[in-house]
């Protein structure tokens, strides 16, 4: 009888060891899967970093090449007349401005992603932001012969935001809308409304629209949607990622309205200032 009990005890221990090994094997498998996923994510981040550096380098090299080429022409031809010199100085000034804009945007993006950006948050009436932005971009609309429709309500609650940063977002959205508007009969519309305790701003253009596959990728760094009117659009492709980072930091959302056909709408929301909030 004692031998039978001993055998049963050993069998019980074997079953316990088996369960322990099975549990450890399962845990090891889960850990391995997590490590594999983390490694794949690190590889993806490394690829994105390489792509980012490569694209920045390319975008910097393009204006620098033009500046150098036109500068060498001026140096090698000191006897050029005033009008001829102006023909070469204008591209140098334009490319210098483009280079400055790119560097500022890269710095803005780096500050946003590292959390080093400074913020001056206060109650803001987005109607005032729209009014200030449309005044600042009026020449842009005139240069491209694009009509602007503004639909502002008589009253609107304030939002907690950094006014300068929100103006930066609006300038990006309006510049994007003008760039993609119909070149023959361009029109952009700005609307503000209250939606579920948030103030929503809509910027709509009458361009070719956003392909379904680009609804999210237009917010990727250095990524721009196609333009059936003008081919590849000009710009750095950093305006929308920076704008989304600003809006999300302020507790809102920025997205492309999903709809088929021509015309595109980019919208963002910011939460209404709570009672007693500074």
**pLDDT of 233:** 46
pTM over 0.85: no
Of the candidates 209, 126, 205, 217, the one whose C-alpha atom is nearest the C-alpha of residue 169 is 126
| Residues 105, 97 contacting (CB under 8 angstroms) | no
Rounded Cα distance between 87 and 8, Å, is 99
Neighbouring C-beta atoms of residue 114, cutoff 10 Å:
8
Is the predicted pLDDT of residue 231 greater than 60, yes or no?
A: no
- Give percent of the chain with pLDDT exceeding 70: 83
**pLDDT of 236:** 59
| Residues 254, 203 contacting (CB under 8 angstroms) | no
Range with the poorest average pLDDT among 2-11, 87-96, 113-122, 213-222: 2-11
pLDDT band per the 50, 70, 90 thresholds, residue 228: very low
pLDDT one-digit tens code per residue, 141-173 = 999 999 999 999 999 999 999 999 999 999 999
| φ and ψ of 91, to 5 deg | -60, -35
Of the candidates 99, 46, 48, the one whose C-alpha atom is nearest the C-alpha of residue 236 is 99
Between residues 31 and 223, the one the model is more confident about: 31
Query: What does the buried/exposed string (b/e) look like for 179-197 if buried means 16 or more CB atoms within 10 Å of the residue's CB?
Result: bbbeeeebbbbbbbeeeee
pLDDT one-digit tens code per residue, 166-221 = 999 999 999 999 998 998 899 999 999 999 889 999 999 999 888 877 777 787 77
pLDDT band per the 50, 70, 90 thresholds, residue 121: very high
pLDDT one-digit tens code per residue, 93-104 = 888 887 887 788
Is the predicted pLDDT of residue 262 greater than 60, yes or no?
A: yes
User: How far is CA 204 from its chain centroid?
Assistant: 17
Rounded Cα distance between 162 and 26, Å, is 50
Is the predicted pLDDT of residue 125 greater than 90, yes or no?
A: yes
Between residues 11 and 237, the one the model is more confident about: 237
**pLDDT of 5:** 61
- Give percent of the chain with pLDDT exceeding 90: 35
Range with the poorest average pLDDT among 111-115, 227-231, 269-273: 227-231
| Residues 131, 153 contacting (CB under 8 angstroms) | no
**pLDDT of 189:** 96
Rounded Cα distance between 107 and 53, Å, is 13
* Structure token digits, residue 272: 């209404």
Neighbouring C-beta atoms of residue 119, cutoff 10 Å:
12
**pLDDT of 51:** 64
Rounded Cα distance between 273 and 157, Å, is 7
Domains for the chain: give ranges and CATH numbers.
1-117 (1.10.287.130), 122-271 (3.30.565.10)
pLDDT one-digit tens code per residue, 39-79 = 777 776 667 666 666 666 767 777 888 888 889 988 988 88
**pLDDT of 62:** 76
């Amino acid at each position: 009888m004692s031998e039978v009990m001993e055998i049963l005890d050993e069998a019980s221990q074997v079953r316990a060891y088996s369960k322990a090994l099975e549990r450890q094997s399962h845990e090891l498998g889960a850990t391995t899967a997590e490590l594999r996923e983390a490694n794949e994510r690190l590889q993806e981040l490394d690829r994105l970093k390489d792509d980012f550096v490569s694209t920045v380098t390319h975008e910097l090299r393009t204006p620098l090449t033009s500046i150098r080429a036109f500068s060498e022409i001026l140096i090698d031809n000191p006897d050029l007349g005033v009008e001829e010199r102006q023909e070469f100085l204008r591209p140098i000034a334009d490319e210098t401005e483009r280079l400055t804009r790119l560097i500022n945007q890269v710095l803005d993006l780096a500050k946003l992603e590292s959390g080093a950006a400074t913020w001056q948050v206060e109650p803001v009436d987005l109607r005032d932001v729209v009014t200030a932005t449309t005044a600042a971009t009026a020449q842009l609309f005139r240069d491209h012969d694009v009509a602007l429709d503004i639909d502002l309500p008589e009253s609107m609650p304030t939002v907690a935001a950094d006014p300068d940063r929100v103006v930066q977002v609006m300038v990006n959205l309006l510049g994007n809308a003008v760039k993609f508007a119909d070149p023959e009969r361009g029109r952009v519309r700005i609307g503000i409304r209250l939606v579920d305790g948030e103030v929503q701003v809509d910027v709509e253009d009458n361009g070719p629209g956003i392909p379904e596959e680009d609804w999210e990728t237009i917010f990727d760094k250095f990524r721009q949607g196609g333009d059936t009117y003008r081919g590849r659009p000009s710009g750095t492709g950093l305006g929308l990622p920076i704008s989304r980072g600003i809006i999300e930091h302020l507790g809102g959302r920025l997205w492309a309205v999903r709809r088929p056909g021509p015309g595109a709408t980019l919208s963002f929301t910011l939460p209404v200032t709570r009672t007693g909030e500074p």
